[in-house]
């Protein structure tokens, strides 16, 4: 098992979750807790960024393209087709894992396509820890429709979004069933919004990380809690006629 220069056993944190399910806010909390999650890709749909490592995003696009030309998260290749490209992407996976993990006691990444590619990564990960993020399926579906409505391709309607949500949730449950030996914690977007500090404590305990007052304050600034949303609705109702400002609407998608 890999050790850091300080003698710590390395941990690799993999965030599993659907697009539009709250993985960005969970990853933001993990970064505050001290997990190196890579440089964040800009995302206009998330007020604080997607917290999605650009290198992993590019690698996942490459894997999907090799598995099935023209495929995407919204039109995914079959599971076997992804497994079939294992040898073709082995060196690229080994390189990115070695580079991102070098000298770090705890690091990780999040990308929604990881639900379908995890089996390609697991053989080269040191001490993997899974953070599985769930959200109300209808919430994911509505957010997916809103998110893809301006896409040239990949646009989904509500029924398609619900079908994709069911598909990816099924794959996540299969991962949890297949890899019972891998340390795993489950969290829900709704729980994070309702009580972000409580969920942060759960994540900190799972990963054996300190949760200081400074980190708590940063998490409270990051997460728009349900109480804050309701308060903002009431406060702005007179000015906006009950319509939420864009930054709040984006945070709820």
Over residues 102-148, the pLDDT tens digits come to 999 999 999 999 999 999 999 999 999 999 999 999 999 999 999 99
169: number of CA atoms within 13 Å, CB side? Answer: 16
> What span, in angstroms and rounded, lies between the C-alpha atoms of 164 and 156?
9
For residue 248, give the 3-state DSSP assignment: helix
> Is pLDDT at 8 greater than 60 in this prediction?
yes
pLDDT of residue 234: 66
> What span, in angstroms and rounded, lies between the C-alpha atoms of 94 and 4?
18
Could you tell me the CA-to-CA distances from 110 to 4, 18, 31, 177, 249 in Å, in that order? 22, 10, 11, 20, 23
Cβ-based neighbours of 86, under 8 Å, separated by 6 or more: 120
Question: What are 185's strand-pairing partners?
Answer: 131
Return the structure tokens found at 216.
């708590």
Question: What are 16's strand-pairing partners?
Answer: 132
218, 32 Cβ separation under 8 angstroms: yes
109, 14 Cβ separation under 8 angstroms: yes
For residue 93, give the 3-state DSSP assignment: helix
CA-CA-CA-CA torsion sign (107, 181, 17, 199): negative
For the entire predicted model, the pTM comes to 0.85
Over residues 152-162, the pLDDT tens digits come to 777 999 999 99
pLDDT tier for residue 151 given thresholds of 50, 70 and 90? confident
For residue 131, give the 3-state DSSP assignment: strand
223, 193 Cβ separation under 8 angstroms: yes
């Amino acid at each position: 098992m890999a050790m850091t220069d300080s003698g710590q056993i390395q941990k690799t944190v993999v965030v599993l979750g659907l697009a539009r399910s709250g993985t960005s806010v969970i990853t933001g909390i993990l970064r505050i807790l001290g997990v190196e999650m890579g440089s964040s890709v800009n995302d206009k749909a998330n007020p604080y960024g997607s917290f999605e490592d650009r290198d992993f995003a590019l690698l996942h696009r490459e894997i999907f393209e090799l598995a099935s030309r023209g495929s995407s998260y919204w039109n995914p290749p079959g599971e076997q087709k992804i497994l079939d490209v294992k040898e073709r992407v082995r060196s690229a996976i080994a390189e990115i894992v070695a580079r991102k993990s070098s000298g770090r006691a705890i690091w990780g990444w999040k990308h929604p396509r990881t639900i379908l590619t995890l089996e390609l990564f697991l053989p080269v990960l040191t001490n993997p820890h899974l953070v599985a993020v769930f959200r109300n399926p209808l919430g994911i579906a509505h957010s997916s429709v809103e998110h893809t409505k301006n896409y040239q391709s990949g646009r989904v309607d509500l029924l398609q979004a619900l079908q994709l949500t069911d598909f990816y949730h099924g794959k996540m449950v299969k991962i949890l069933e297949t890899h019972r030996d891998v340390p795993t914690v489950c969290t829900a977007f709704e729980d994070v919004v309702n009580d972000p500090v409580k969920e942060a404590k759960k994540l900190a305990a799972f990963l054996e990380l300190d949760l200081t007052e400074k980190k708590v304050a940063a998490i409270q600034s990051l997460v728009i809690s349900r109480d804050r949303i309701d308060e903002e609705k009431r406060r702005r109702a007179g000015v906006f006629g009950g319509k939420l400002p864009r930054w709040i609407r984006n945070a709820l998608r």
